[in-house]
Amino acid sequence: MPIKTHADEQPTLNLTPMIDIIFLLVIFFMVGTKFAEAERNVDVRLPQVESSQAPRTPPKRHIVTVAADGQILWDGHAVTVRELRGQLQRTRDVEGVVRVVLRGDGNSPYRNVAAVLNACRDEGVDELGMSVRLASRIRE
């Protein structure tokens, strides 16, 4: 069996690639600064308009909650399915677009959630989201 007579080389950290990257980043930011500076110095005369309108605020998202006992809440107020349909119609008339987030209790019978989904479909809800909580694992 051969005997080692020389010591192994100690590992070293090669800094050359890291220094190259630092220099490239410095150059990149220097050039980028020059372009931004040149853009600010361009003389532009903006066109004039007679009137302007403020941007419209996006339509509000309404929260529909189905409690475990089957109670339906529209933005925190208790309603029936018929009243929910009326609220959806009024919202469409006022806002033009109806956005709903449905929050259903996991212990609520599915028929209660299905009734709300059906009302939303019938009243032409434009955007419907369902609020859920992610479980750590799914039980089989």
Whether residue 123 is predicted with pLDDT greater than 80 in this model: the reply is yes
Q: Is the dihedral of CA 85, 86, 87, 91 positive or negative?
A: positive
Q: 């009302």: which residue's tokens?
A: 119
Q: What is the pLDDT of residues 50-86, one digit of tens each?
A: 776 766 676 688 999 999 888 999 988 999 999 999 9
Highest mean pLDDT among 34-38, 42-46, 93-97, 119-123: 119-123
DSSP state, residue 2: P
Output the pTM of the full model. Answer: 0.55
Q: Which fold has domain 61-130?
A: Nucleotidyltransferase; domain 5 (3.30.420)
